[in-house]
Structure 1
Amino acid sequence: MNTIQLQLSTPYVTYEEYARISGLPYNTVKRMVADGRIPLRPKANRKEKPMINLVALHQEATEFAGAAFSASVSDQPAA
């Protein structure tokens, strides 16, 4: 089994940031969240801004590829 190791600068991003980094239109991101294709971080209260869970997305992708998953979050920006 292959291992995929990721280093993320942040585990969560806004809809806007996810649209920017994925190249998907903002409204497409909203639809994908609404139908469950993009996972969200659980909100502690109703007023919190919804955040896309990048760790869960990467984990799903590596499992789909049949690889082991390992991730870490760094305070250093990605190169």
Structure 2
Amino acid sequence: MLNYQIAIPVPFVTVDQYCNLTGMAKGTVIDYIRKGKIIIKKKDLPKEKPLINMIAMQMLATKEAELNVS
């Protein structure tokens, strides 16, 4: 089991903010959202801008890290 603490300053970010944080290209991020590799908040309306769920992404990263440590 991994023991660490990571502070997530905000639970949701826009695609542009995510690109700035990760250095990923916007087209790649949008493609990953479509493929389900990047988790977004459920949208109420189809035309709403996607908000990336940083807490869910952290949980996914933690789960993957724990699997690779064993």
TM-score range, shorter chain: 0.7 to 0.9
Work out whether 1:39 is the aligned partner of 2:39.
Answer: yes
Say if 1:4 and 1:62, in contact at 8 Å, map to a contact too.
Answer: no
More strand by share: 1
**TM-score using structure 1 length:** 0.74
Provide the TM-score with structure 2 as the length reference.
0.83
- Tell me the distance in 1 between the aligned counterparts of 2:3 and 2:44: 33
| Gap runs ≥5 in structure 2 | none
Q: Distance in 2 between matches of 1:20 and 1:2?
A: 27
More helix by share: 2
Higher relative contact order (CA 8 A, sep 6+): 1
How far, CA to CA, are the matches of 2:65 and 2:10 in structure 1? Answer: 23
Alpha-carbon RMSD: 1.6
Q: Does 1:24 align with 2:58?
A: no
> Offset at 1:15?
0.5
